């Protein structure tokens, strides 16, 4: 079995400030996106959703919540 292009030995290779995603078919035959985003501070956000748009919406909410917590 070959490793997906998103990780090396199970560890995300997503560079800081960038996103990586890969579309795959799950065991039920449903298409999903594995999505990684590494913030500029190095923290990794990862999610699996049916569409890339949903992944990015979740990322944006995560970033907004993170900024809100930092400003408290």
Report pTM. 0.82
Determine what percent of the chain falls in helix, strand and coil, rounding each to the nearest 5: 25, 40, 35
Dihedral, 6, 37, 35, 70 alpha carbons, nearest 10: 150
17-59 pLDDT, tens digit per residue, is 889 999 999 999 999 999 999 999 999 999 999 999 999 999 9
């Amino acid at each position: 079995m070959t490793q997906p292009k998103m990780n090396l030995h199970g560890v995300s290779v997503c560079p800081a400030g960038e996103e990586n995603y890969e579309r795959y078919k799950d065991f039920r035959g449903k298409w999903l996106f594995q999505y990684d985003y590494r913030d500029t501070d190095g923290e990794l956000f990862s999610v699996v959703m049916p569409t890339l748009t949903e992944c990015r919406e979740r990322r944006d909410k995560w970033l907004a919540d993170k900024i809100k917590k930092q400003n408290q």
